[in-house]
Structures are given as structure tokens and as C-alpha cells.
Amino acid sequence: MEENKRLVKVPTMAEMAANGEEPEILFWVGCAGSFDDRYKRVTRAFVQILEHIGIKYAVLGTEESCTGEPAKRAGNEFLFQMQAITNIEVMNAYNVKKIVTACPHCFNTIKNEYPDLGGNYEVIHHSTYLQQLINEGKVRLQGGGDFKGRRITYHDSCYLGRANDIYEAPRDVLAALDADLVEMKRIRANGLCCGAGGAQMFKEPEPGRKDINVERTEEALATLGQQGDSVIATACPFCMVMMTDGVKNKEQEENVKVFDIAELIAQAEGLSR
Amino acid sequence: MIKLENIIFLIVAAAGIGLFIWQIRKIRKNVLMGRDLDITDNPSERVKKTLLVAFGQQKMFKRMLPAVLHLFVYVGFLVINVEVIEILIDGISGSHRVLGFLGPVYNALMFINEILAALVIVACAIFLWRRNIIKVPRLSRGVEMRAWPKVDANTILIIEIVLMFALFAFNIAGLKLAELEGVAAVGRYPVSSLFVNLFGNNPETLHTIERAGWWFHIIGILAFMNYLPSSKHFHIIMAFPNVYYSKLLPKGKFTTNPAITHEIKAMLDPSYQPPTPKTDAEGNPVIERFGAKDVEDLTWKQLMDSYTCTECGRCTAVCPANVTGKLLSPRKIVMDTRDRLEEKGERPAIFAPNHYKELGVERVHVTEENTLLRGYITPEELWACTTCNACVEACPVGIDQLSTIMDLRRFLVLEESAAPASLNTMFTNIENNGAPWAFSPADRFNWSEELYVPNKN
């Protein structure tokens, strides 16, 4: 088994440019995808999918820097624009046209807020991208793989959902798993935030009755029921942290796992075992 | 034939309408205290949205029961207004049911009117019950929902019920009079005909009741109109322009401050020429605050939002911070903006702001500062926001609560450097490491090490 795999060398924009090449897509990894131990696994799963389908992609590597999103939501417009303008200079120098990212916060910022500052790109969230791959038959998921019949509930990310009206793509991706998909009460446009947006990720919550992620996790657990071996699916690094913490808080780690949709696809496709 | 009654009516109506215009001008002045903002784009899309969300009540239907009840009152208001126009014409010219010449159309109109008027009474009674007996949480909870907002909501419902009863009294008496005179009544009255004998059969009494009902209804409407600018009920007017001017862009797109862009570009490139700043009447450059500290730092749309708010609490009921017991209530942000705006600017007939300091021991720790920020809205509320847009999505009348929260936050950070310590750490990390956490930028690409994929067979 060991031999039937190959080492991936993730291409960078700098290398491509040095060879006079341009990738079809830039994969914007984001800070969580680069540094957060849990979300690095999502980044790796997504790269495995990119490698599997054989698309010409590249990353910025160490040239990537925070989009400035958390600074902007926290009210630090100055720092946000500093980051944005610097990133835009880098990407424009590489003539970047199309960006895919696994972070809804990066996605929203680059797609909606960079154009005002001179950064005009086609920006796709990885949920939409995965949906396209499935629709085009590039990812086949024969028989649904590992997740066939398992109970999965999808937690809407605010910056994907309400912020950008993307509700179907992640659900379509999950539908391809042939799993037992169940919906929470507050979904889509009425979805409840995980509690991490607006830079809450980086601070303690204000005093209250309960933490927001606990409220949301309780709803997810009630939806999933007691059968165990079920999954909360997310499509955002912050949601993933919050839901994972929520499941821990409720001491349900044994019964409920939190996965990003890219991990589910990579696993079901047999790419990451 | 013009009688003294008609002249009195004319004076009363002119006074009522005049007073209303006077109040509207004050509110217009208040709204225009806000910063300039050009919203002239996409008129056809805006009209469509107005038809759907304002006329069509689209967002109301996220909650079925109140939506249906509200629809009765809303349609009742629109249709019964046709009869009000008739009342005005009758009052001025001394005619009686001047639109009666419409024949079958008039019959149908009066028929629908009576059904709607009855439904309005039922709906308002249920609304009163929801507010005062079962106390629906979103309508009764929250520091912002006391004193004036409570009185106001109940006042409106009671006035609406009384107005409908006046209309019925007028119709019943008119119907009985026609019956006594042996003439066919103009119009069809399915509800009033059930109570046709309610007031006996003394023509003189009936005539008095008919006139009293008529006068009460019309004076009631004029008074109600003048009550609107002091009330949440002002939404019946403001909902339309407010939805028209609401944001069409993706909700995730927050505003970008071009003044900051120029500053950064000049910093990065010394040859960059920023545009000449705006100047005031004396030719001095206008230095605009970053973010908002007080009402004049908000845009006119944000101030218009505050006059559109109907205090329904749908925003607060879906706010993740609020539902988990934090202090933040998006409705309070909007109501505070209106209170502060009227404190600073012009005042309508009734001015009764929520002063949290006067309410005794409260969790809202406002200070003596005479500004929207801290005087009404505290940093604790602002920092609890997750910017999830649930409030904006929930609002049936196109209010953008989040934009106001963001502008107040921006002032705290950009002008006062008053962010919570942990956020300042995050800022420093981004500045130094290009990531919100304290990781070395050199390690950013480490995730790619030792990554394998299966070979394709």
C-alpha cells in the first residue's frame, strides 16, 4: 500500500512565475488553513483533491498574508486596508485571475471588499468549487464511500450564507456522500452563527448566559440524535473551531465528529487515509 | 351645499395636515444631519425590492401568525383609506358618500372595507393579547422596551380598534337611517347590517351617532397621523423609502473608507497624490471622524433606519449574542439612534427617549457623555456583535443595524484605540506576522510538508 502513493510538491506562484507559467487557479490558503493544526488538515485534504483532479493550481506560500478580515470586522479599517493593498499588489503582480479558498471570511473579503482597493478577481469558495467538480464528474464518490448512511448535519457559515447567499453548494456536496443528511432548525438565511465572526474568534465573549457555540452545538446535537457516529459538517475554519469546542463542552467527542466538507470528500474519494 | 360644519371640517383638516407637514420637515432635517451617501444606483432593482419587501411584506412571512394578522391591518389600512378619501371629499363639499356613483364597485369596496375593518379589530385584539397577556418575548423583553415604547405600541393598537368602531358606528347609523327613510343604502355593509338595530330607531339619535362616528373617525385619523412621527407606527410611511434605499450589495460587503485608502497609498508611495480634501464654507479642510461617535457621523440612511424601526424585535430575537444573554440588542442600537438624534436635533410632537441612567440599576452602563456612543450605546454591546447579519436578514423594513454597529466600533478602534486587549493583540499579530495569531510568517507554508496522494491506477 505504502508504495501506491506519491509525495505532493505544492506549487507556489513564485515558482510558476519563474518558469513563465500561470496556474488556472490560485488556492488562497488563509491563516487558519496555514497555521491552525486542525484546519491544516482541511488545507491538505483540499490540495489532495486538487492533485487528484489534476488541475493546474498554485499557492502563494510565504508570500500570502492575512486578508485583513478580522481587523476590518473589529473596526480597524486602517490595518485592513494595509493588508488588502499589500496582498492585492502581490496578486496583481502575478496576474491572478481566479482564486479558490476554503475560508468564507477570506472569500467574502477578497470577493467583495478587495475590488474597491484595486483587486478584481473571480473568487470561489471551496464549497462551490467542490460542487462543480462533482457536477462535472471529476470527483465521483462511488457509493458515497465512508459516509454512506451516516448522519450528517450542515452548519451554515454566516459569511458564506447570509453574507453571500451560498446555501446550496455545501449541501449539494454533502448530498453526493449518500449520507443521512438532517437539517437543524435554524438554517440557511435563518442560520445561527457559531459565535466566531466579527473577530469574536480572537477575544473572550461578553458576559452572558451561555456561549454562542454551545447554543449552536446543542441544536446540532439535538438534530443528530443519540445514535452516535454522526458528523457536524462545516465549511469555515472558525465554525470548525467553535463547533469542535461546543462538542467538547457537551462531552460528545466520541459520538460526534466535526469535519469540513473538503475532508469528507477527500476521505470518501479515498484520497486521505 | 356648504354648511358651517364643512367649514369647521376644512379648518380641522387643514390644521391636522399642516401640523403633520411641520413634523415631517423636522424629521427630514434630522435625517439630513447624517453624512452624505449617494444611493441613486439600480432604480429598477430598488423598485422591485420595494414592491416585494415593503408592499409585498415578503420578510414578514418568516413568522406566519404575525404575518397574517399584520396583513389584515396593512391591507385594511390601504383599502379603508379609499373611504377616508371619500370622507374628506364629503367633509369639504358637504356631499354624502360621494363615491356612491361607482355603483357595484362602490358596493364591493364598502363590503371589503367592512370585512377588513372587522379583521383589523380581531388582529389588533390578538396583538394586544400577545403583547400584554402572553408577553411574546421579542415584544416585551429588553431594556429598550419600556416606558414610551410600551405605551406607544398599546396606544396604536387601541386607537386602531377605536377608529374601526367609529367607522362601524357611522355605517350602522347610516344604514338604519336609510332603512327608516325607505331608501336603498349606498353601498353594502355585511358587518354593520348585523347590528343595524343597535342604536334604536330614533332618527335624531341615529343622525347624531352617524355624524359623531364620522367626526370621530376623521379627527381620529388626523390625530393619528400627527402621532405617527413620535411613534414606531411611523414605519407605515418610512418602510417604503427605507426598503428602496436598502443595500443591494452582498451583505458581507462592508463599506470601505476611501480617506484611509488615500492615506495608505500616500504612505506606501510618496509620489501618490491624494485628492484635495473637502472644504467647509471658510475654505478649511473638513476633517471627518473615522467611524461614528454621534448621530451626525452616521449616514442619512442609517438615520432613516432609526425612523423606520417598528420595534418588532425580529432582529434581536435572532441575534446570536442576544439569544445567549449578552447585552447587545440590534433593536436597541436603532432605537437609541433615534432617541439621540431627536435629543440633538429636532423633536416631533412627543419626545420620550429611553434614558437608561434614569431607569435605576441596569446592566447598560451608560456614561454622562452626551453622545450616541457611551451616552446611549456602550462598548460592551458593540463588542458582542459577531457581524453575522442575522439582524439585517430578519428586518422586514430594510434596516441595516450592522452598519451602525460597525461604524461605532470603527470609532472606538480608529479614534480611541479602545479595542479589547485581546483584539489589540490580534492587530499586532497581523501587523507583525501577517496572521491574527503569533506564528512566524516563515512557517506559513509548513502545512505542505509530507503530503501524499494515492497514485491513480
Query: Among A129, A157, A179, where does a domain finish?
Result: A129
DSSP B339-390: HHHHHHS---S------GGGGSS-S----S-SSHHHHTB-HHHHHT-----H
Question: Which of A50, A78, A116 to mutate: most B Cβ within 10 Å?
Answer: A78
Query: Does residue A259 belong to any structural domain of this protein?
Result: yes
Please, which residues bridge with residue B451 across strands? none
Query: Does residue A4 belong to any structural domain of this protein?
Result: no
The CA distance from A235 to the nearest CA of chain B, in Å, is: 15
Burial zone of B44 (CB within 10 Å; 0-12 exposed, 13-18 middle, 19+ buried): exposed
- Which residues in B382-396 are b (16+ Cβ under 10 Å) and which e? bbbbbbbbbbbbbbb
Question: Of B253, B254, B444, which is closest to A61 when you measure between CB atoms?
Answer: B444
- Tell me whether B325 touches chain A (CB under 8 Å): yes
CB count within 10 Å of CB B332 equals 27
Amino acid at B143: V
Range of the domain at A63: 13-129
Contact, B340 vs B295, CB < 8 A? Answer: yes
Classified as helix, coil or strand, B414 is helix
Query: Does residue A147 belong to any structural domain of this protein?
Result: yes
CB–CB contact B390 A71 (8 Å): no
CA proximity to B206, closest of B187, B185, B180: B180
**pLDDT tens series, chain B, 457 aa:** 567 888 998 899 999 999 999 999 999 999 999 999 999 999 999 999 999 999 999 999 999 999 999 999 999 999 888 888 887 788 778 888 888 888 899 999 999 999 999 999 999 999 999 999 999 999 999 999 988 999 999 999 999 999 999 999 989 999 999 999 998 888 899 999 999 999 998 999 999 998 888 888 888 889 999 999 999 999 999 999 999 999 999 999 999 999 999 999 999 889 998 888 788 888 888 888 999 999 999 999 999 999 999 999 999 999 999 999 999 999 999 999 999 999 999 999 999 888 887 776 678 889 989 999 999 999 999 999 999 999 999 999 999 999 999 999 999 999 999 999 999 999 999 999 999 999 999 999 999 999 999 997 6
Helix extents (H) in chain A: 13-18, 30-35, 37-53, 69-73, 77-93, 104-108, 126-135, 168-175, 212-224, 237-249, 261-268
User: Is A120 in the same domain as A149?
Assistant: no
CB–CB contact A113 B256 (8 Å): yes
Question: Which of B53, B62, B249, B256 to mutate: most A Cβ within 10 Å?
Answer: B256
| CA–CA distance, B426 with B433 (Å, rounded to integer) | 10
- Using CB atoms and an 8 Å cut-off, which of residues 215-254 of chain B contact chain A? 249-254
Residue A3: pLDDT band with limits 50, 70, 90: low
- Tell me whether B410 touches chain A (CB under 8 Å): yes
The CA distance from B246 to the nearest CA of chain A, in Å, is: 15
Classified as helix, coil or strand, B221 is helix
Please, which residues bridge with residue A25 across strands? A57
DSSP A195-252: S-TTTGGGSPPPS-SS-HHHHHHHHHHHHH-SS-SEEEEESSHHHHHHHHHHHHHTT-
Residue A231 phi, psi dihedral angles, 5° rounding: -135, 135
The per-residue pLDDT for A1 is: 47
Task: Tell me the chain A residues in contact with residue B326 when contact means C-beta distances shorter than 8 Å.
Answer: 205-208
Contact, A186 vs A219, CB < 8 A? Answer: yes
Question: Of A52, A68, A81, which is closest to B453 when you measure between CB atoms?
Answer: A52
Task: Tell me the chain B residues in contact with residue A271 when contact means C-beta distances shorter than 8 Å.
Answer: 453-454
What residue segments make up the domains of chain B, in order of their start?
4-31+63-230, 258-274+287-433
Task: Tell me the chain A residues in contact with residue B390 when contact means C-beta distances shorter than 8 Å.
Answer: 158, 162, 190-193
- Tell me whether B315 touches chain A (CB under 8 Å): no
CB–CB contact B456 A197 (8 Å): no
Determine which of A120-124, A156-160, A220-224, B353-357 has the lowest per-residue pLDDT on average.
Answer: B353-357
| CA–CA distance, B207 with B173 (Å, rounded to integer) | 7
Task: Locate B256 and state its grid cell.
Answer: 470601505
The per-residue pLDDT for B87 is: 79
User: Is A102 in the same domain as A204?
Assistant: no
User: Is A153 in the same domain as A256?
Assistant: yes
User: Is A125 in the same domain as A154?
Assistant: no
CA atoms within 13 A on the CB side of B320: 30
Amino acid at B291: G
User: Is A79 in the same domain as A113?
Assistant: yes
Nearest residue on chain B to A75, alpha-carbon basis: B410
Residue A148 phi, psi dihedral angles, 5° rounding: -55, 120
Query: Does residue A76 belong to any structural domain of this protein?
Result: yes
User: Is A149 in the same domain as A250?
Assistant: yes
Task: Locate B62 and state its grid cell.
Answer: 418568516
Question: Of B250, B394, B442, which is closest to A62 when you measure between CB atoms?
Answer: B442
Amino acid at B348: P
Determine which of A27-41, A133-147, B324-338 has the lowest per-residue pLDDT on average.
Answer: A133-147
- Tell me whether B413 touches chain A (CB under 8 Å): yes
User: Is A117 in the same domain as A167?
Assistant: no
CA atoms within 13 A on the CB side of A135: 10
Task: Tell me the chain A residues in contact with residue B394 when contact means C-beta distances shorter than 8 Å.
Answer: 190
Residue B78 phi, psi dihedral angles, 5° rounding: -65, -45
Classified as helix, coil or strand, A155 is coil
Query: Does residue A273 belong to any structural domain of this protein?
Result: no
User: Is A184 in the same domain as A98?
Assistant: no
Name the CA dihedral angle for B398, B402, B404, B409, rounded to a multiple of 10 degrees.
Answer: 180
User: Is A111 in the same domain as A35?
Assistant: yes
Number of H helices, E strands in chain B: 18, 1
Q: Look-up: residue for cell 457536477?
A: A135
pLDDT digits over A155-190, tens only? 999 999 999 999 999 999 999 999 999 999 999 999
| CA–CA distance, A53 with A69 (Å, rounded to integer) | 30
Q: Look-up: residue for cell 389588533?
A: B124
Contact, A198 vs B388, CB < 8 A? Answer: yes
Burial zone of A32 (CB within 10 Å; 0-12 exposed, 13-18 middle, 19+ buried): buried
Task: Tell me the chain A residues in contact with residue B314 when contact means C-beta distances shorter than 8 Å.
Answer: none
The helix (H) or strand (E) run that includes residue A257 is strand A256-260
Question: Of A74, A193, A211, which is closest to B423 when you measure between CB atoms?
Answer: A74
Question: Of A6, A65, A210, which is closest to B453 when you measure between CB atoms?
Answer: A6
The helix (H) or strand (E) run that includes residue B109 is helix B104-132
CB–CB contact B448 A201 (8 Å): no
Task: Tell me the chain B residues in contact with residue A62 when contact means C-beta distances shorter than 8 Å.
Answer: 441-442, 444-445
Average pLDDT rounded to a whole number, residues A100-128: 98
| CA–CA distance, B38 with A50 (Å, rounded to integer) | 43
User: Is A264 in the same domain as A159?
Assistant: yes
| CA–CA distance, B231 with B152 (Å, rounded to integer) | 6
User: Is A72 in the same domain as A110?
Assistant: yes
Judge whether residue A131 has pLDDT over 60.
yes
Query: Among A66, A99, A129, where does a domain finish?
Result: A129
Contact, B139 vs B127, CB < 8 A? Answer: no
The per-residue pLDDT for A148 is: 86
Question: Which of A155, A159, A200 to mutate: most B Cβ within 10 Å?
Answer: A200
Residues 6+ apart with CB under 8 A from B81: none
| CA–CA distance, A72 with B410 (Å, rounded to integer) | 9
What one-character DSSP code corresponds to residue B249?
S
Contact, B329 vs B322, CB < 8 A? Answer: yes
Length of chain A: 273
Provide the number of structural domains found in chain A. 2
Q: Could you tell me what percent of chain A has a pLDDT over 70?
A: 97
| CA–CA distance, B142 with B390 (Å, rounded to integer) | 18
- Using CB atoms and an 8 Å cut-off, which of residues 377-406 of chain B contact chain A? 380, 383-390, 392-394, 406
Question: Which of B444, B449, B456 to mutate: most A Cβ within 10 Å?
Answer: B444
Angle at B310 between CA B61 and CA A73, to 5 degrees: 85
The CA distance from B240 to the nearest CA of chain A, in Å, is: 23
The per-residue pLDDT for A2 is: 55
Which domain CATH number covers A236?
3.40.50
The per-residue pLDDT for B319 is: 98
User: Is A110 in the same domain as A76?
Assistant: yes
Q: Which fold has domain B258-274+287-433?
A: Fumarate Reductase Iron-sulfur Protein; Chain B, domain 2 (1.10.1060)
| CA–CA distance, B319 with B246 (Å, rounded to integer) | 20
Please, which residues bridge with residue A136 across strands? none
Helix extents (H) in B32-103: 43-49, 64-93
Alpha carbon separation from A205 to A68, A186, A248 (Å, rounded): 21, 21, 18
Interface A–B counts its CB contacts (< 8 A) at 246
